[in-house]
Amino acid sequence: MRRIAPDRDQLLGTVAEVFREHGYEGASLALIGGATGLGKGSLYHFFPGGKEEMARAVITHIDGWFADNVFAPLRDSGDPLAGIEQMLEATDSYFRSGRRVCLIGAFALDDSRDLFAGQIRDYFGRWVTHLAGALVRSGRRPDEASELAEEAVAAIQGALTLARAASDLDVLSRALRRSRMRLGLPAKI
Amino acid sequence: MRRIAPDRDQLLGTVAEVFREHGYEGASLALIGGATGLGKGSLYHFFPGGKEEMARAVITHIDGWFADNVFAPLRDSGDPLAGIEQMLEATDSYFRSGRRVCLIGAFALDDSRDLFAGQIRDYFGRWVTHLAGALVRSGRRPDEASELAEEAVAAIQGALTLARAASDLDVLSRALRRSRMRLGLPAKI
DNA sequence: CCGAAATTGTACCGAACGGTACAATGAGTC
DNA sequence: GACTCATTGTACCGTTCGGTACAATTTCGG
C-alpha cells in the first residue's frame, strides 16, 4: 500500500478536481488557488515546479489509486474473473463519485499531451496489459485476451466521453455491463 | 449535398486542424492566423464573433461532413448493413487521414464543453440514433440496437483516445474490425 | 522562550491572451 | 477614373496568464 501524508493526499485530490473540470490549460493558478484555499506562495512552496509539477503529481496520484484499486486486483486475485469484477466495480465507483471524467483521458487529447505523454501511455498501457493478463489466466488465448482488454478499456473511455457529451452517467453503467458480458462474467445480481 | 464556397471550406478545414491539435483554449488566434495565413483583420472579418464563432463554424462543418458521409448512408442505404459498412469505412478514412482525433470528442472533455454542449450532444446523439435505426432495419430488436449503437460509437471514441495515448492508430483499426463483428457484418476481405 | 525552518500573503514581472479600431489596400462596377 | 465595398495589416486595448521575490507570519523542537 502506498503511503501518503493525508493532507497532501487531500490537496492532490482537490487539485485533480480542478484539472478534471477545466483541463490543463484551463486550470489557472487562480482557480487552483481558489479551490484549495492556498495562495501562490503556498502552491509554489509545495510544487516548486509550478503548474506542470502539480499536474504531474496529480497524474501520479491517480495512477497510484488505479495501481492499488484496479491493477492490483487484476494481477493478484487468485480467481482472475473475481479480479476483473473488482476492477469493474472500482471503475464504476471511481467515475461515479463526482469525478465524472477520466483526467488522464482528457489530458491525452489536450494540448498538454506532449508534456505528459509518457505517464499517459503508461497508465493506459498498464491497464490493458493487466486486464489481458487476467484474461489469459482465466483461460483465454493471449491474442484474444489482448483484443478483449483493449476493447474493454476503450469502451470505458469512450463511454466517459459520451456520458459527458450527453450529461448522462448511465452511458457508463451500460458500458460496464456490456464489458462484464464481453469479458465472460456472470450478469450482475 | 451541402454547398459551401470552396475557399471557405478549405479555411474551415485549416482552422479545424488547429483546434484539433491544440484544443479550444490552446488554439490561440496567433496559431490560427499562422496556420491560415490570415491576420486578425481577416479572421474577424470572416468570423465577427471571434474565436467562439470560429469553433462553432468548425463544429458545424464537421457535423456537415458526418451528416453527408456517415449519417446519410446509415439512413438512406437500401441495405442497412451496407450503410453500416459505409459508415465504418468513412470513419476509418476520416480519422486516418491525418486528423487523428475527434475534435468534437476532445471538446466534450475540454473546458469549452459548456459553450458547445448542444452541438456536441447532437453530434453524438445523431450518430447513435442513426446507427440504431439501421440496426433495427437490419432486423435487430430496438433495445438491442440501441445498446449496440452506443457501444460502437463509444468504442470508436475510446479507441481514438487510446490511439492518441499510445501514438498508435492501429488501435482504431482493431476497434473498427471488432465493431464490424459486433454489428453483424462479414469479416472484411 | 528562542531560533530555525516551514508556510503564507502580497506585490510585482513580462508575455500572451482575445478583441477592437481604423486606415490602407484590393477588386470589381458604373 | 470614381465610387463601392470587401479584405487586410497594424497598432493598440485591458485582462489574465504562469511565475518570481520577499517579507511577514506561523510552527515547533530544543
Domains of chain A with bracketed CATH: 6-182 (1.10.357.10)
B27 pLDDT more than 70: yes
The pLDDT score that the predictor gives to residue A3 is: 40
Do A142 and A123 form a contact (C-beta atoms < 8 A)? no
Task: Give the pLDDT band of residue B7 (cuts 50, 70, 90).
Answer: confident
List, chain by chain, residues whose CB lies under 7 Å from nucleic acid strand D: A 25, 27-31, 40-41, 44, 50-52; B 38-42, 45-46
Mean pLDDT score, B157-173: 96
Give nearest nucleotide to A43 (CA–C1'): C8
B5 pLDDT more than 80: no
Chain A residues whose CB is inside 8 A of the B156 CB are 158
B170 pLDDT more than 60: yes
Do B92 and B72 form a contact (C-beta atoms < 8 A)? no
**CB under 8 A, 24+ apart: contacts of A6-13:** A8/A46, A9/A61, A11/A36, A11/A38, A11/A46, A12/A57, A12/A58, A12/A61, A13/A61
Q: How far is B47 from chain A (nearest CA, A)?
A: 23
Which chain C positions have some atom within 7 A of a protein CB? 6-11, 16-23
How do residues B65-98 score in pLDDT, each as one tens digit? 999 999 999 999 999 999 999 999 999 999 998 6
The pLDDT score that the predictor gives to residue B19 is: 96
The pLDDT score that the predictor gives to residue B178 is: 97
How do residues B40-49 score in pLDDT, each as one tens digit? 999 999 999 9
The CA distance from A85 to A72, in Å, is 12
CA of B39 vs C1' of D6, distance in Å? 15
Q: Cell numbers at residue A169, please?
A: 452517467
The pLDDT score that the predictor gives to residue A62 is: 96
Do B84 and B74 form a contact (C-beta atoms < 8 A)? yes
Q: Exposed (0-12), middle (13-18) or buried (19+): which is A187, by Cβ within 10 Å?
A: exposed
Query: Which of the residues in chain A have pLDDT under 70?
Result: 1-6, 98-99, 188-189
Chain A residues whose CB is inside 8 A of the B159 CB are 154, 158
The CA distance from B104 to A47, in Å, is 33
Chain B residues whose CB is inside 8 A of the A144 CB are none
Q: Exposed (0-12), middle (13-18) or buried (19+): which is A86, by Cβ within 10 Å?
A: middle
Task: Give the pLDDT band of residue B4 (cuts 50, 70, 90).
Answer: very low
Task: Give the pLDDT band of residue B3 (cuts 50, 70, 90).
Answer: very low
Task: Give the pLDDT band of residue B100 (cuts 50, 70, 90).
Answer: confident
**CB under 8 A, 24+ apart: contacts of B7-14:** B8/B46, B9/B61, B11/B36, B11/B38, B11/B46, B12/B57, B12/B58, B12/B61, B13/B61
Across all residues in chain B, what is the average pLDDT?
93
Strand C contact with B42 (CB < 7 A): no
